Chain A
Amino acid sequence: VSLDDAEVRIAAQEAQLVAQIADGNIEEPMKELYRRYAKNLYRFGYHMLGDVGLAEEMVQESFQRLWRSARRYEASRGSVAAFLFVIARSVAADIRKRPSSRPLLQVEDFQLPTLPDSADQILDGLVVREALDKLSSAHAEVLRLGLVEGLTQAEVAEQLGLAIGTVKSRTFNGLRALRIALGERGIHAA
């Protein structure tokens, strides 16, 4: 992911917020970082843990650890976002190891996804999700029915009352639009 001028400014601003937290000025900088990242942290937590309560716990614990670790943050080694998602990954791993979290899974053979290897992998996934949410409704609808509902092209066609060829075209054009949107965000999916 390449950083343009705006991203450099944001990175510097967020590094300053973490520095303020490290100096004991906690509340406002923490609120600002919460508003920027809580939604994506929560989505990541829900994806990794499969439970809304555990996802909220992961968010809360991640910000606790951010406060604890603020003095150790070095802007030269990575963005605040990457720092925070490395923390979140660690928190999610801890929660998954805990016996008490297992009975909460609603389906006995439910398989949690593999934990991502890096913060970049998490962030890329979240950026893709945001880009997907911003597609035009015609494209987003066929992609959502496939990805979320698991419907085949024929089933989507039946549900929407469209020809199957139209559904296929919207699927491919939606994927092309998504690729362009991701390119604008610095992510290049082949």
Chain B
Amino acid sequence: MQLIGYFALPVAFWFTIFAAAAFFYGGLKKDRRFIVSGNRAIYAATAMTVLGAFALYWALLTHDFSIDYVARYSDRELPLFYLISSFWAGHPGSLFLWGLELAVMVSILVYINRNDRDRAALPFTMGTAALCLAFFLFLSGFISNPFLQFADNFVPSDGQGMNPLLQDPGMFFHPPLLFTGYAAWTIPFAYAVGALIARELDDRWIRSTRLWAMFAWTVLTIGISLGAWWSYKELGWGGYWAWDPVENASILPWLVGTAYIHSVMLQERRKMFKIWNFALVSLAFLTCIFGTFLTRSDILSSLHTFGKTDATKWFLYAIAAITVSSIGLIVWRWPLLRPENHLKSLLSKEVGFALNNLLMMLILAVVFIGTMFPVFTGITHGTKISVDIGFYNTVIVPLGLFMLLAMGVGPLLAWQRSSVEGLKRNFRMPVLLSVASIPAIVALGGHRPVLGFITFLACVFVTACILQEYWRGVVAAHRGGHGWISGFAWMFARNQRRYGGYLAHLGMVLLFVGVAGSELHKTEREVFLRAGESIQLGPYQIRRGDIRMRQAQNHRLHEADLEVHRNGRRIGIFRPSRSFYDNRPDQAFSEVALYYTLVEDLYIIFGGEAEQGAAYFKIIISPLVFWLWAGCFLMSLGGLLAILPLSSRRNPSQLASAAG
């Protein structure tokens, strides 16, 4: 199977190169024979890539340690769950996963367009997608082939095993979802390039990308959220987002994607922002490649990187090629991309969307500059200087608050021009509710610091705006003869994108609540406790019990018993621990003890035993963290509801009319 895997990827690469050539030739010569041949070449390449994936799984599951990758990232003791995720634990495997997912998506793209003879842009779209796939298959087949064997037929008796930090359920879901999101952004990019080449510059390409873009955004949202959750419960530092370079790299395409899924509505409804949309979709794909590059280079130090690899320079070439070709194509077609309408009023939905895009781009610029700051200072001063979390908090928090408010205001504005009467009518209830909520915020202690107070108040305002929109939709459905519940379902199905989007906005509000609560009201204490000693922190009383060493499947656990009471009521025994994995016996990996409630999380880290029987613990009470995860869930759900085929009546013209 090793040989099959080794050769399947180069064979897939050549099929993809043929497909790209056939699509472009067929598109230029208008010869469908080549398009049909290109379609088949994509299916063949995908079949070969899937065969390669089967071969790698076969090698991992049968412990074929003659393969360097298998020996490096798995061992005989690794539980099956992690054996499956070891596929993408290293650089060659994760790159292969990117390519595998992209191959499947390009096949879907080809399949859904196989009978479409109307659009001259499609061959160029599929050719571009094939070229992107070819890039990944080139890397997996020739530069970082995961099937390479050790020299001189060496076969180790056991593998080195997976990095213990990766032995977490998060590893099973987080990387594949991120790569799915990255791969999915390839398709809108390909549609944009196809449209530019073929001069098909109306909004058909936008409609074609809508589903892919929403899918990519939703999957990235889920992937990033799971990454944050993994970091929170696994890394033992009490946080969920550290502004680590690779974390930042994952959020760049999300920010651009968020801007794109809003700005496309301007083109659909008002034929504006045409150039901007092409630029955004190119930037979204570019940031995906940039993020993948960052994890495969040594230009920045991060927990997540694989260090410099053979593929690093090829990613730089790809970034340069995408940048030059995107700019070149847009400049080439610039005269044909003039907006057909112009802004009529500053109080309009158009301005709301433009403001959304501006804020997203500002946040993107801040994250990019912060991430690359060590590289810039390395070039200018010869020393890499990193920015700390304070930089991001100082700059992004105000921008984030503006964005939050824009989420409330934007949906209530009218297209073209909002009348003063209309604004009064739309904003009366949200403003009144916000004012009425002030005593409640103060009573719950949310008025300090001022930043927290502003955040909570803005959250109430935006929630009221969104709920008012839902309410109006349901009332309209009710007047049309629907019941209240069936009216809600009818309203949702009639315009999934709008109401799914509002749900995502509501999720973002909850996320702000969680971040404000946990960052501004966190209580933290570091203590040494002997057996029988206890500590009171907030409503929690924590009493230390025994400490023991226990053997698990592939690691030893050094764990402490802690009896926890909340306001005098016994919650139970908590066991924070430190794991010593068989493949890293000298290194301790913290396993935190967590107690979730709707109000706060109790987070306990065990730091090991000190002298005279005392043991070190770090105890954190993080308020409202639950709402952060609930917000991530709602955002993901909103994205899913926007794209799932809930209504059988949907067709392209209805979709177009439903925009915004």
A joins B in a complex: no
